């Protein structure tokens, strides 16, 4: 398996973007692309642009990372260890964890409220094909030099897919699969990671939350809801509209509404989702039309959509991928692996919650299917999975 950005491709955090991209690449083209819009006047805590490059201490591929959104620390994982780092300087502080068997690795699922990291440990026993998984906790990440406890999920054989949380609360969501004789069942785990407690386990509709439909997970704290955005037909050319699914975290009751389905080839695959946990404004990215869509989850309605810079609604090659939210400054940050004509590398494209373009930070070496950046809103700083050497590096940036 391989992991890209904060997500895993071909493994736990399954993404269909790469396959859809290859299958439909021939469809790019069409009407003339719009010019890149002029940058807005968003204020920044530092110089807008790229900062430090961080390389894992052991020089190995990074399998997930996150940062404390109101602190100074961060955490990343490789096959060999877990490493904490200073998010200001990009310096590795400590590395720990026991050596694992071949084909095994550590994975950072995310940092929950209170600077508590959830780490997945995947061990493949000698002579076996499939990993045995358990979960460790680092509480807090700041100053840590070891795992401080375990997180014991209420279901056996849990295979983590995505984690969503609001670091200002103790509630975290884990979208996961459990292995059954008849296949894999999707589950939503509502947990206080620090307390190793669970307020709900919600069994999900396997026909709707199939990995083939690329579900993306978010948390709407003020509405007490989990949010999924997905492509109900796997992102088919000329296919159905994306679906926005809301799940009450107490009752498990669901509701849904269709998203924008613009463009000659329609929206295609759903590549990214971020939700402002306070306002309930959500942003998604779709593949076949290179657009960013904005929704009001409270009203269950669309707000507007935006064409990524230099694209038309048939420019699949330039589509966005992961989306991050800055709920303090009310901004969404979109990973754009192939920005404009590519001469500026990849970019993080910034929009406000009304869908207005703010700015583009260019010069990234982003991978196809790039996950969302990790943000520190107070510093107006983020880290993305990008660097001159590829998947063993993270790139700091300011916006």
- Position 125 scores a pLDDT of 77
3-state secondary structure of 348: strand
- Position 36 scores a pLDDT of 59
CA distance 45 to 43: 7
Q: Please name the residue ranges forming H helices in the chain.
A: 17-24
3-state secondary structure of 304: strand
Residue 118's Cβ-side half-sphere holds a number of Cα atoms within 13 Å equal to 29
DSSP letter at 308?
P
Token pair 């955090």: residue: 13
Q: Which residues contact 297 (CB under 8 A, 6 or more apart)?
A: 220, 223, 225, 227, 244, 246, 275, 280, 281, 282
Residue 142 sits at the vertex; the CA angle it makes with 140 and 145, to the nearest 5 degrees, is: 85
From residue 127, give the alpha-carbon distance in Å to each of 73, 80, 122, 130. 38, 19, 15, 10
With a cut of 50, list the residues of the chain below it in pLDDT. Answer: 1-32, 39-45
CA distance 348 to 398: 10
Whether the upstream peptide bond of residue 316 has omega within 30° of 0, thus cis, is no
Which residue from 138, 58, 55, 163 is spatially nearest to 105, judged by alpha carbons? 58
Backbone torsions φ then ψ of 300, nearest 5 degrees: 55, 55
Q: What is the DSSP string of 90-130?
A: --EEEEE-----TT-EEEEEEEETTTEEEEEEEE--TT-SS
Residue 104's Cβ-side half-sphere holds a number of Cα atoms within 13 Å equal to 21
- Position 354 scores a pLDDT of 98
Q: pTM for the complete prediction?
A: 0.89
Which residue from 374, 349, 233 is spatially nearest to 291, judged by alpha carbons? 349
Q: How far is CA 122 from the centre of its chain?
A: 20
């Amino acid at each position: 398996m391989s992991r890209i950005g904060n997500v895993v491709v071909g493994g736990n955090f399954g993404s269909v973007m790469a396959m859809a991209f290859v299958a439909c690449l021939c469809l790019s083209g069409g009407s003339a692309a719009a010019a890149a819009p002029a940058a807005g006047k968003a204020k920044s805590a530092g110089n807008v642009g790229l900062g430090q490059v961080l390389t894992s201490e052991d020089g190995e591929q990074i399998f997930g990372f996150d940062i404390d959104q109101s602190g100074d620390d961060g955490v990343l994982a490789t096959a060999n260890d877990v490493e904490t780092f200073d998010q200001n300087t990009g310096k590795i502080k400590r590395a720990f964890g026991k050596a694992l068997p071949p084909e095994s690795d550590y994975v950072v699922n995310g940092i929950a409220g209170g600077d508590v990291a959830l780490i997945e440990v995947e061990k493949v026993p000698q002579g076996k094909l499939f990993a045995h998984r358990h979960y460790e906790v680092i509480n807090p990440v700041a100053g840590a030099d070891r795992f401080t406890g375990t997180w014991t999920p209420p279901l056996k054989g849990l295979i983590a897919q995505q984690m969503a949380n609001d670091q200002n609360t103790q509630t975290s969501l884990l979208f996961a699969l459990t292995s059954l004789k008849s296949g894999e069942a999707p589950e939503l785990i509502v947990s206080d990671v620090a307390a190793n407690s669970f307020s709900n386990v919600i069994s999900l509709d396997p026909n709707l939350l199939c990995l083939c439909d690329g579900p993306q997970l978010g948390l709407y704290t003020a509405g007490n809801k989990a949010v999924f955005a997905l492509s109900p037909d796997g992102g088919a050319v000329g296919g159905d509209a994306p679906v926005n699914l809301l799940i009450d975290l107490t009752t498990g009751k669901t509701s849904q509404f269709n998203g924008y389905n613009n463009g000659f080839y329609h929206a295609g695959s759903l590549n990214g989702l971020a939700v402002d946990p306070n306002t309930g404004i959500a942003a998604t990215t779709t593949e076949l039309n290179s657009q960013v869509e904005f929704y009001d989850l409270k009203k269950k309605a669309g707000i507007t959509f935006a064409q990524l810079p230099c694209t038309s609604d048939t420019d699949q090659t330039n589509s966005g991928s992961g989306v991050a939210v800055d709920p303090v400054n009310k901004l969404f940050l979109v990973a754009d692996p192939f920005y404009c004509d590519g001469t500026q590398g990849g970019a993080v494209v910034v929009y406000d919650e009304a869908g207005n373009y703010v700015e583009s930070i260019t010069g990234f070496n982003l991978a196809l299917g790039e996950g969302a950046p990790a943000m520190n809103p107070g510093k107006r700083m983020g880290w993305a999975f990008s660097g001159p050497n590829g998947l063993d590096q993270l790139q700091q940036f300011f916006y």
